[in-house]
Amino acid sequence: MPVKATRHLVTQALQRLGYALLLPVSILPMAALIFRLGQPDVLDMAILSLTGQAIFSQMPLIYAVAIAFGLSRQELGGQTLAGAVNFLLLSTAFNTLAPNLHAEMICGLLAGLTTAIIYPWVHQQKLPRGLQIAKGEFPSLLISALACLLIAIPLSLLWPPLERGLTLLTSELLTTPFGAFCYGTLNRLLIPLGLHQVLGSVIGLGESNLQALAAAKPLHEGYVAGLYPIIMFGLPGACFAIWLHRQRMQRLPQGGLLLTLALTSALLGITEPIEFLFAFTAPWLFLAHALLTGLSLAVCSGLGIKVGSYFSAGLLDLVLSYQYGERSFWLIPVGILFFVAYTLLFYQLLERAPLSMPSKPIAKEHPRLANVAPSDPQMLAIQYLKVLGGMDNLQAMSVCLTRLSLRVRDISLVDQSRLLGLGCLSWIELNDHQLVLVLGPSASLIEGQIRMLAERQSVPLGLKPNQESASESSW
C-alpha cells in the first residue's frame, strides 16, 4: 500500500477514534457537577455525591460502550452490548493474571476497539451450512468475546512496563515547564484533526490521573492549569483583535458573532468555533495560538499552579475544580496577561495577513442585513438543505458539539456563499465530498431537524461522513 494511502487510512481511523471518545469525555462535566452539588459545603446531599461518584467509577465501561458504538460502520444492535460484555471479560481476566495494577481504562479502550473491529467482520462472514442455526449476532458476540479473553494474556505481560512509563511521563516529564509546553502545543495542533481526544485519553492512563478519576477529582492537574488562561482569556482576546481589525478595515465587525464565540469559550470551554475560524483559513494564527497555549502551560507549571479540569478549561470547569487546585487564584492575573498578549499579537498578524472571514465592505453589506436566518428550527434546517444542494445531495451526517460533519455527493452543488447568512460561523471543505460546518450550540438542533426531514422522505442518512463506501472494511 502506498505511503500516502496508508497515512490517510491511519489518520482517518484516528479521527474516528477521536470522535468516538468525545461521547464519554462529554459525560465528565455532568458527573462533576452532580458530584460537586452533593458536597457538604453546597447542598449536602449524599445521593448526588454517590451518583456522581458512580459515573466516574464506571468510566472504563462507558469508554468501551462508546468506542464499540462510535467506530461501528453498520447499525448492529448487539455491538454496543458486546462492548460492555467484552470489557467485563477482559478486565476480569486481566485482574486475575496481573492484579494490583491500574488497567481499567486501557481495558475499556481495548475492549471497545476489539469489538468495533471483530464484531462487524464476523457479522459479514458466511457460516458453513451446518452452523446456519447459529447465524445472527451470536457468532459475532462469541468471537469478539474470545478475542478479548486472548488479549488479556499479552496485555498482562506488556502493561506493567507501559504503566510505569506512562506514570513517569505524567508525573515527572509533563509536570516540568518544557513538558507542559510540548503537551499544550501538541494538544492544540491536533484539534483540526480531532485527535486531541486521543492524546488526552492516552495521557489519562497515567496512575495519578486514574486515581483522580476514581476519586471524582479533576484530571491532569499537574500540567493543564495553563489551559484556563488560554480558553477563558486568550481566545476571547483573539476575538477582540479580530473585531478591532475589522473595524479598522471598514468591514462589518460581526461583533455579535465574535462575542458569542468568546463567551462560549470563556464560560463553557468550547473552543472549536473560534479555532476552526482560523485553523484552515489563517494557519499562521492557529500556529501562534498553539505556541501560546504551550507557553501558558509552561508558565503555570513554573509558577506551581496546579488546577485540573473535568472537560474543558472554562469558567464552569474552574468553579468545579478550584477547591482541588493549588495557587488557583493566580490563573486570573496570568489570564489577563494572555488576553493582552493575544490581542496585540493577533492584531499585528492580521495587519500582515488578514483573516478571510466571508464578508464585503460595510457599505455593500448593509442592504443584506435584512436577510436574517429563520428562527424556527425546522425552517432553518430546510434552508440549510437547500444550501447543501437538497436532500438527494446529502449522504451522511454527524454532529460533534458545535460542528456538523457532512458527506455530499457533489460539493459543487453546495452554495457556500449563503452559509454565513444562515448563521454558520465558519466552514471547511475537506475534500470533494466532505464538508464541516461550525454552527455553535445550534449544531445538534439542526442535525436533529435534518434527520427528521430525511425520515419523513424515507431518505437514508449515514452516521459516518468520512466513510467512503459501505463495502470498506471497519478500519
- Beta bridge partner(s), residue 361: 251
Taking a C-beta distance cutoff of 8 angstroms, is the pair 56, 105 a contact? no
Of these residues, 107, 148, 300, 400, which one is catalytic? 400
- Beta bridge partner(s), residue 378: none
Q: Is 148 a catalytic residue?
A: no
Instruction: Give dist(CA 48, CA 36) in Å, integer.
Output: 8
Identify the burial level of 7 via C-beta atoms within 10 angstroms of its C-beta, where 0-12 means exposed, 13-18 middle and 19 or more buried. Answer: exposed
Taking alpha carbons only, the member of 193, 206, 201, 277 closest to residue 236 is 277
Taking a C-beta distance cutoff of 8 angstroms, is the pair 408, 394 a contact? yes
Instruction: Give dist(CA 177, CA 301) in Å, integer.
Output: 5
Helix (H, G, I), strand (E, B), or coil: what is residue 405? strand
Cα separation values, 206 from 106, 215, 217, 332, Å? 10, 14, 14, 28
Q: Which residues contact 369 (CB under 8 A, 6 or more apart)?
A: none
Cα separation values, 151 from 102, 109, 140, 148, 425, Å? 17, 12, 16, 5, 45
Q: Please identify every residue annotated as catalytic.
A: 400
